[in-house]
Each structure stands twice: as C-alpha cells, then as structure tokens.
C-alpha cells in the first residue's frame, strides 16, 4: 500500500500514484486516469480507471489483456492512444477507443490532456522506429512514453524514463535540463534493481552533475504524491 508521506497537503492538482515500470495513475475528484498499464506493471494496474492513455505499442506500455479487463469491468471507461494501438483494440469496444496524435487536445475523465511527440526514441539504426506520443495532463505533468520529447509548453512535473535500451544517463540528464520542470519522478524503471536505482538517484541528486534545479525523487510502486500548481 502506498503512502501519502510526501504529499503536499495543500496541493490543488491531482494525486499521482506510481505503479510498476512506466505506469502511473492520476486521481482527481473521484475519477482516475491511468497511463501505460503495460506488461511490467501490476496485473490490476488498469482496473478502476475511468480513462486510459497509451503512449505506444511496446508490451511494457501496452498490454491488451489489462486494457480489456479494465474496459470490460467499467462500460464507461475509454481509451485514448495512437493509431497502432487503437487498431488492435478498438473493434472490441466501438466508440470507446479514440485515436490521437501530436497537437491534439481532449478531456478524459475530467482531466485536460495535450498530446506531444510523434516517434519512439532510436533503439538502434537497424530497428525501424515506431510511433510514440506523450501526454501533458492538466498542464501539470508530462509522461513522454519512450522518447525524450520536449513538450511545447512548460510543465511543473516530468515523469522521467530513467533506464531503457534506447537511452544513456547523459541524455536523460540533458533531457531534464531541456524540459526544465520543478519536479522529476522516475518512470521506466522496471529493469533496474536497487543498485541501479541507487546509482541513478545519486547522479540525479545533489551528488550528481545537476539537473538544472529540478528536484528529483524515486517513488516505489504504490506511493502517491500531490501535484500542486
């Protein structure tokens, strides 16, 4: 079970709950939005969501069985995602799966969402790049999926992909500086053990080269924080 120990009691925005790997839940006014409940997150990560957002088709972000379970459990739940994912699941839920792309804006479960980005980061030149979108939610928090997209607007909180086959630390740090948020929380950490998390924490913390002023924190699955404006 998570803790509210580091939640701002006066936060005016939603609550963010860290789930496994790259999945997060956002809660506001009794409604829940879930981003990227993939195969490395908890089996129940998508359940109870009023809205589901998926950044791209890789299985650590898109798990069809988890999405189907959430949609079947709540006939009012809806999905917003890019075409490659929508084509794989929309037939089972007509009218409830929405295709979006860079520059689109929409409301999902009472949250205002903007779409930023178009392509997945390069894993290797031999591997074709797939599409990838990121989501700015309520103008507060940005989930970039598997890309180092700098959103075309300021955001206070950045969900930072800290470890993947497509990134290295210098790129991650420069990305934080380019986005220039006030707060950074780790995502895409499902392949790291405690040793790796400790090293990255020190590098992104006061003992490292510096994030340009952004505060950095690692949340364990189940921990929640308030997102203040």
Name the token pair of 81.
Answer: 């995602």
Q: What share of the chain is helix, strand, coil (3-state, %, to 5)?
A: 20, 25, 55
Nearest one of 61, 32, 215 to 147, comparing CA atoms: 61
pLDDT of residue 3: 42
Using alpha carbons, select from 176, 173, 174 the residue that is nearest to residue 159: 176
Q: Are strands 134-137 and 215-217 parallel, antiparallel or unpaired?
A: unpaired
CA separation, residue 181 to residues 27, 118, 195, 196 (Å): 21, 21, 26, 23
Which CATH number characterizes residue 194's domain? 3.60.15.10
The answer as to whether 7 is a domain residue is: no
pLDDT band at 64; cut points 50, 70, 90? very high
Is 57 contained in some domain?
yes
The answer, yes or no, to whether residue 6 has pLDDT greater than 90, is no
Q: Classify residue 6: in a domain, yes or no.
A: no
pLDDT for the residue 81: 98
Give pLDDT, residue 206.
Answer: 76
Is residue 1, in this structure, part of any structural domain at all?
A: no
19 within a domain of the structure (yes/no): yes
Tell me the pLDDT band of 122, cut-offs 50, 70 and 90. Answer: very high
* Cα–Cα distance, 146 to 131 (Å, whole number): 10
Q: Label residue 30 exposed, middle or buried (CB < 10 Å: 0-12, 13-18, 19+).
A: exposed
- Better pLDDT: 212 or 134: 134
Quote the pLDDT of residue 75: 96
Helix (H) or strand (E) holding 200: helix 194-204
* Torsion sign over Cα 135, 139, 142, 143: negative
Q: Which domain holds residue 189?
A: 15-226
**Into how many domains does the chain fold?**
1
What pLDDT sits at residue 12? Answer: 62
Task: Note whether residue 4 is domain-resident.
Answer: no
For the packed helices 194-204 and 169-179, what is the interaxial angle rounded to 10 degrees?
A: 50
Give the model confidence (pLDDT) of 32-48 as tens digits.
999 999 999 999 999 99
Q: What is the pLDDT of residues 149-189, one digit of tens each?
A: 999 999 999 999 999 999 999 999 999 999 999 999 999 99
Residue 187's closest CA among 36, 14, 80? 36
Q: What sign for the dihedral angle of Cα 225, 22, 131, 93?
A: negative
Q: Is the pLDDT of residue 5 over 70?
A: no
Residue 83 belongs to a domain? yes
Residue 90 covered by a domain: yes
Least-confidence region, from 21-25, 67-71, 99-103, 212-216:
212-216
Tell me, what's the pLDDT at 205? 86
């Amino acid at each position: 079970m998570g803790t509210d120990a580091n939640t701002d009691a006066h936060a005016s925005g939603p609550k963010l709950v860290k789930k496994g790997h790259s999945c997060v839940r956002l809660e506001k006014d009794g409604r829940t939005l879930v981003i990227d409940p993939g195969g490395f997150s908890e089996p129940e990560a998508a359940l109870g969501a009023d809205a589901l957002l998926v950044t791209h088709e890789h299985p650590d972000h898109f798990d069809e069985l988890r999405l189907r379970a959430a949609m079947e459990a709540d006939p009012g739940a809806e999905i917003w995602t890019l075409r490659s994912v929508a084509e794989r699941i929309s037939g089972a839920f007509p009218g409830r799966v929405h295709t979006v792309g860079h520059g689109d804006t929409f409301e999902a479960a009472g949250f205002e969402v903007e779409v930023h980005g178009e392509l997945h980061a390069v894993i290797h030149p031999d591997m074709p790049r797939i599409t990838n979108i990121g989501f700015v939610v309520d103008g507060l928090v940005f989930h970039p999926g598997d890309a180092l997209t700098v959103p075309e607007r300021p955001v206070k909180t950045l969900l930072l992909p800290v470890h993947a086959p497509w990134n290295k630390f210098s790129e991650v740090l420069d990305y934080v500086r380019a986005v220039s948020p006030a707060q950074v929380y780790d995502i895409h950490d499902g392949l790291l053990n405690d040793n790796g998390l400790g090293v990255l924490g020190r590098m992104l913390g006061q003992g490292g080269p510096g994030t340009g002023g952004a505060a950095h924190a690692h949340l364990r699955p189940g921990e929640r924080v308030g997102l203040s404006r």
